[in-house]
Chain A
Amino acid sequence: MLTIPRNWREKPQRYMLKGGKCKDCGYTMYPARKVCPKCHSENIEIIDLPREGKILTYTVIYSAPEGFEDFSPYAVAIVELTNGARLMLQIVDTDFNNIEIGKKVSVVFRRLFVEGKAGIIIYGPKAIVED
């Protein structure tokens, strides 16, 4: 699981949906990386990613990893945001039979992980299907 310092460092991407955009080839990424995976440029700017997108593909997890047992079964999707950036998000508040490739989603702010009864609560992005 995320350590507290790493979790704290990753706040911009989880809280604000900050991503990266390559100033040379225009590739958008989440999270931002130091080097563009497409053209290897290091000319990356930090941008606010849009909070709307669509489902590219998804799967339903029945056997959840440790710490996520409360959510199973749950759906996880690769979402393409309206500016082309792709990220993996849990789909919440949506019946599985309403989750389809191509459906529109919005990013919401939820609890991602709760570290036991006394530990930290980690918040970040998930998605809902827009009907």
Chain B
Amino acid sequence: MTGIVGYGCYVPKRRIKVEEIAAQWGENAETLKNGLLVREKTVPAKDEDSVTIAYEAARNALKRAEIDPQEIGAVYIGSESKPYAVKPSATIVADALGITPAVHVADYEFACKAGSETVFVVYGLVKSGEIKYGLGIGSDTSQGAPKDPLEYTAAAGGAAFIMGNDNVIAEVIATYSYTTDTPDFWRRDGQSYPTHTGPFTGAPAYFHHTLNSAKGVMEKAKMTPKDITYCVFHQPNGAFPLRASKMLGFTKEQFEPGWVAPYIGNTYSGCSLLGLASVLDIAKANDIILVTSFGSGAGSDSFIFRVTERLEKVRNNAPLLKYYADRKQYVNYATYAFLRGKIKMRED
């Protein structure tokens, strides 16, 4: 049996409310909140980045996996907010967790799908017997340009998954990927903020890929939404995944446990994986979980998992998402602008 043997998450403590950003730009907060279905988002501290977030999430995953870090044969981080343009993030995390040096390490990139991609690849390596355990992490501290609609949702956070063939807490039943070349959202090299094509990010990009990928994996597993306990989608805001779940025929009960964007925001590569972590925080043995990520450019990875008895034994080895979600320190727009490097400081 191949699947998840450990999972962990991390989101920074600071938050900014939609009201605070809306007040800065003279926009109507209620209209924005009703449209986006996001109330607030996480903000990283000045000394946090996608590496420190990946580290904390992965350490939590190791606590649940109860394995020797030296047995991990691959460490991959998916992110679109790497601290270095050239120099891998995953080497830092692998070293700091005591996984190096006999390990294959790489950074992945595919907009918001980079995180699920790492899980997809380590799953394949583990299943083939090439490695004993593999660690896949999605972690981001992404930014929206000031006054851009993305500024209300672009958040920071991450989740990590260790895959293996024994002591599995959630078995992989099926995987499926759906990908096309779609120019909905991009960031050119050297640019601080991404560019997106407004309404074009919806129907032909997010919905087309998410729905086809979710349908594809259910068909492969010979399942329908009725067979699935919980569904998790990528969450660029709160509204898109809610609409996707309804279009596929899922209920509120199936969807809400993995719906994290309303109180965390869009954590990009961490997003669908944080949703999965949030579901694993409450799931019971034999529950079936569908996860479909989405990355602009564009593609969706899907997984169907079946939870095992072991999940409940290791769940409390590390903090639940709720622990991090409840730890909050609100900041105003000026502090947010400073923390995100939007204030020009003296350089001498």
Residues of A within 8 A of B (CB): 11, 15-16, 69-71, 92-93, 95, 108-112, 121, 123, 126
- Option from A109, A110, A121 in Cβ contact (under 8 Å) with B84: A121
Cβ-defined contact, A109 with B13, below 8 A: no
Report chain A residues within 8 Å CB of B52: 108-111, 123
Q: How far is the CB of A87 from chain B (nearest CB, A)?
A: 17
The 6 A-B pairs of least Cβ separation, nearest first, read A15-B96, A110-B47, A111-B47, A109-B55, A93-B13, A70-B46
- A-B contacts, 11 of them at CB < 8 A, read A15-B95, A93-B14, A109-B55, A109-B56, A109-B59, A109-B96, A110-B45, A110-B47, A110-B48, A111-B49, A111-B52
Q: Which residue of chain A has the shortest Cβ distance to B92 in the bound complex?
A: A123
Q: Which residues of B contact A108 (CB under 8 A)?
A: 52, 56
Instruction: Give the distance in Å from the alpha carbon of A15 to the alpha carbon of B96 in the complex.
Output: 5
Contact B55 A93 (CB under 8 A): no
The residue on A at minimum CB distance from B53 is A109
Which B residues between 81 and 129 are near A, CB-CB below 8 angstroms? 83-84, 92, 95-96, 98
Complex Cα distance A93/B328, Å? 10
List, in ascending order, chain A residues with CB within 8 A of B59's CB.
Answer: 109
Q: Please name all residues of chain A whose beta carbon is closer than 8 Å to the beta carbon of B83 when the two chains form the complex.
A: 121
Residue B51 CB within 8 A of the other chain: yes
In the complex, which residues of chain A have a beta carbon less than 8 angstroms from the beta carbon of B96? 15-16, 109, 123
> For residue B59, which residue of chain A has the nearest CB?
A109
B335 interface residue, CB < 8 Å from A?
no
Known: A70-B46, A123-B51, A126-B47. A93 touches B329 (CB 8 A): yes
A95 to B330, CA, bound (A): 12
Docked complex Cα distance between A9 and B326 (Å): 38
Chain B residue nearest to A51 (CB atoms) is: B59
Q: Is the CB of B48 within 8 A of A111?
A: yes
- Give chain B residues whose Cβ lies under 8 Å from the Cβ of A70: 46, 345
Q: Is the CB–CB distance between A112 and B95 below 8 Å?
A: no
- Which residue of chain B has the shortest Cβ distance to A14 in the bound complex? B96
Which residues of A lie under 8 Å from residue B84 when comparing CB positions? Answer: 121
Q: Name A112's contact: one of B14, B47, B92, B345 (CB within 8 Å).
A: B47
A112: chain B residues at CB < 8 Å are: 47
Residue of B nearest to A18 (CB): B98
A17 to B20, CA, bound (A): 39
CB distance from A14 to the nearest CB of B (A): 8
Q: Which residues of the other chain, B, contact A110 by a CB distance below 8 angstroms? A: 45, 47-48, 52
